[in-house]
Amino acid sequence: MKKTLIVCLLSGIFIFLLGIVSPLTFKAEAKNNECTTIQSGELISSAGDVITTGYDEWGYNYQAHLFNGTYCDAYRNADWCQAWAEDNLTMKWNDAWLSNKDCDDDELLDRHDGFDSYIGSGAWLTNHMSGTYVDNNGVQQKWTYFVKIIAAPSDAKLVDGEWFTADEDLIGYEIWGEFAVVLEISNDTGTGDHGILNKGEAPLGFGFYRP
């Protein structure tokens, strides 16, 4: 996988996960204070499959907020992603990013429960990718890439594509409108990349951004 494609691939993952939830509303409005859990066997994925506990055939574990598989597994082995079929991908997220229950009775997993948007919700996602490629000299190289993404705080300011705290500390660059990339780590034996590629000034701990 070429590094120039990483943001595009991340965007694809985000759009795919959006399909798991309702396209009309993300705000969970529980009826009678009851929520439907995965254990009920009543919740469905974007593909219309019943969501179960544990890992499904593609590597999603919605109960544990995890995905482990290849990049193409994340898209159920779609034809368009075969160029990256050998690249590994691990995703982790919190309940605000994608819940493991349905509280608005649409049979889909909820997002940013109690908030009108992701802004200020405390949602976060991490992606860890790895793979190999052959350089121009025919030598096989290895690469890894890690990214930490958080929902922008409610008092954050977006300036020229970058999110800043109320105290004007850089959180990270904007992605997907409501999110900030707060940390990127890249290691590549072919390019010499090693360590932090990009990092904001604000604290990196997820707890710092909880509402």
CA-wise closest residue to 109 among 36, 47, 57: 36
Cα separation of 51 and 40, whole Å? 9
> What band does 172 get if pLDDT is binned at 50, 70 and 90?
very high
Cα separation of 13 and 11, whole Å? 5
- CA angle (27 as vertex; 67, 57 as ends), nearest 5: 20
- 16-61 tens-digit pLDDT: 454 444 333 334 444 445 899 999 999 988 778 899 999 999 999 9
- 128-153 tens-digit pLDDT: 999 999 999 999 999 999 999 999 99
> What band does 196 get if pLDDT is binned at 50, 70 and 90?
very high
- 82-104 tens-digit pLDDT: 988 999 999 999 999 999 999 98
Answer for the pair 74, 47: CB distance below 8 angstroms, yes or no: no
How far is C-alpha 33 from the geometric centre of its chain's CA atoms?
28
Domain ranges for the chain, please list them: 3-209
Cα separation of 146 and 46, whole Å? 26
Strands (E), the chain: 36-37, 60-61, 66-70, 88-93, 101-102, 124-134, 140-151, 157-159, 162-164, 170-175, 179-188, 194-199
Cα separation of 102 and 105, whole Å? 6
